[in-house]
Structure formats: C-alpha cells, structure tokens
Structure 1
C-alpha cells in the first residue's frame, strides 16, 4: 500500500514538473521592433553606436576645407572628390562588426552628396573580374570598358579602441574611434577625426 502511495506521489510530481516546463515555454514572447530604435541590453557596441558615430564623423570630415580646396584645384573635372575606404581596425576588447561600421560610413558619404565613393578590396576585385568576363562574353555595345574606373583621390582608414573601468557594481566601457583621410596623390593628411563614447552598466543581482 505504501509502495502504491509512493508511486502515485512520484507520478504527481512528474506531471507538475512537466506542466511547469510547458508553462515556461508557452510564456516566451517575441516582439518585432523598429530597426531605427535603440535597444541597449548591455554596454557593448551596438548598431545604433555604429550609425550615429559614422554620421557624426562624416559630417565633421566634410566640414573641413579639403573638399573646397580639391574643387578649386580641379575646376575642369566634372565630378566631386572620390573617396575609398581602406579599412577600419578593431583593436577593442570585444567583437565588433567592422564591416557594418564601414558600410555606415559609406552610406553617410553617399547621402551627403558632396563626395563620390568607389569600392575597394574584394568588391573592387570582383568588379574587375566581371569586366574581364564581359570583354569576351558580352556584346560590344553593352560590355563595361576596361581601364575606365574612377580613381580614388582620398583614402579613409581608422581604428576602434576600447577600455573598461569597473568599481563595485558599476562598469563603464569607453570607446575611441579614430579616422584619418589621406590625399592619395601627395600622402598628405587632410582630416583626422576622433569620437569617444562612454557607456555605463550597473550590475544586477545576477552579475554583468
């Protein structure tokens, strides 16, 4: 009799645990958010940081006199100064999607309407291979010409650094973004920009 009671109690316990597990799964809530809205769950670098920093730094870059000086020195050119992004190094303590930041920089430059932008790296190499392929496989009136690229006049490059200050239950993560614009012809530095971010996070009872 006692054995039967034990079996019944174990069965009730297992059913209760199963019910709790199902309730927990059923309580999961997924919400679609606006991509332009910042959702900061931690003090880590996020998509909003990437977008705001790129827009602010490109605005600052275009406020310097190199744009007007290039126009004055090249009055007969029917185009604006052309910029290529050489790369941005991530020297921070965390993984940062550098390609996303570079794309945000490119988007900010194109949106400004004050400079032209040319692709570099793997994209440029792929375009060159495509033009070679078109030379042999496309009709003469539709094939893209070889040696007809717009050469870049200026090269943009930079780095992202970070360091962390922590005391008791508070942590402050610092980011420093440095960008430099060089005249490709002369090697002269025509602009240097720097942006610093501080993000504070307080420890919960479960830790950081």
Structure 2
C-alpha cells in the first residue's frame, strides 16, 4: 500500500512539473518562426511582399499610367488554396492588399462580401440617413485590373525527412479586355528532419 501511495505521489509530482514547465513568450510579428515546416504567417507575409514587388515592377503599371495619366485601380479576387494543407488564403489576400496600399502606386477597391456589405450600408443610408449625408449610388470606383491566383504544394518524404514545396501563382488581368497583363510566382521550399 505504501509503495502504491509513493508511486502515486511521484506520478502526480511529475505531472504537475510538466504543467509548470509550459512557457509562453511574446515575439515580434516580423520574426520568422517555423515550428512545423508547414505554411505559416511568415510565408504569407514574405510571399505577399515579394509578389507585390514583382507586380509593381511590371511594365503594365507604366503602360497604364502612360495611357491614362492615373494610378491603376486594382481589385484582389480569389486566391485558391490547392495545397496539401489547410491554408487560410484570406490572410495572404490581406497581406497583398496591405502591400498594394502601402506602395502608393495603385488604388485598391473592395471585393466580394465586403463590397456587398458596403452596398447594403449605402442602401440603408438612402432610407435612414439625412439627404445631405447619404452616400450616392453609382459613385463606386471601377477596377481596371483583377488579381487572382492559387497556392499549390508538393510534398516529398522519405523515412524521417520531408520537403514541403509551395508555389504561389498570381495573375493580373485587365477587366475590360480580359488581357493578362502580368503573371508571377513565388516559391518556398522547406526541408524538415525529424
């Protein structure tokens, strides 16, 4: 009985020690931390920045500005996750939109559900806001170009080694003519040993 009690006390002591060894540390959001080898926030941010640098370095932007004398208006459409893992493409899309806005070289308009929410608000204003402050219909800024793409992956593994390969492909299309004016990609390869 004493041995059983001693074993129980030791077991509970080890369990409690394991509970107290958990440590959480705040780190900067710009710091690259890769625990699993899967797609993460650093991959999303770095890929978005690299892709927007590629887009803004393309000839399409000077062609547009030269033809119209204005900044091009861009809408970011869907980026499909075709990878082997769950990737929230919305965080990547937001990183791309942020990089566009921060560049100051293009104008960005809302897409999808957010645009519909704005339209519902504008409709409500027609009924509930004063005539002087209600926002008018038909004043939306029309996009010149739409950005779409996909996130793909390939996994190669053997025994305790694995390579996760990601390729993000984006295309920028003229909305009026359907002409593809820019195509780019960003590749990431991660080597994982267990």
Distance in 2 (alpha carbons) for counterparts of 1:23 and 1:62: 54
Question: Matched residues in 2 for 1:152 and 1:111: separation?
Answer: 18
| Aligned length, in residue pairs | 194
Greater Rg, structure 1 or structure 2? 1
How far apart, CA to CA, are the structure 2 residues paired with 1:181 and 1:153?
Answer: 10
- Quote how far apart the aligned CAs of 1:170 are: 1.6
Displaced runs of 4+ in structure 1, greater than 6 A?
Answer: none
1:144 aligned residue: 135
Aligned with residue 57 of structure 1, among 51, 54, 57 = 51
Q: TM-score, normalised by structure 2?
A: 0.96
Partner of 1:114: 105
Q: 2-side partners of 1:21 and 1:64: how far apart?
A: 58
Partner of 2:154: 163
Task: Name the counterpart of 1:104.
Answer: 95
Question: How big is the shift at 1:44?
Answer: 0.5
Corresponding residue for 2:40?
A: 46
The alignment partner of 2:49 has SS state of helix
What secondary structure, in the 3-state scheme, does the structure 2 residue paired with 1:105 have?
helix
Which of 112, 117, 120 is 1:126 aligned to? 117
Structure 2 SS opposite 1:87: strand
Alpha-carbon distance, 1:167 to partner: 2.5
In 2: Cα distance, 1:8 partner to 1:43 partner: 48
Measured against aligned partners, the alpha-carbon deviations of 1:144-190 in whole angstroms (never above 9, x if no partner) come to 11111000000000001100112332211111111000000111110
Alpha-carbon distance in 1 for matches of 2:151, 2:27: 28
Specify every segment of 5 or more residues in structure 1 that has no aligned partner in the other structure, as ranges.
Answer: 1-6, 204-208
- State the shift of 1:8 in Å: 2.3
Partner of 1:11: 5
In the other structure, the counterpart of 1:67 is 61
Residue 167 of structure 2: aligned partner: 176
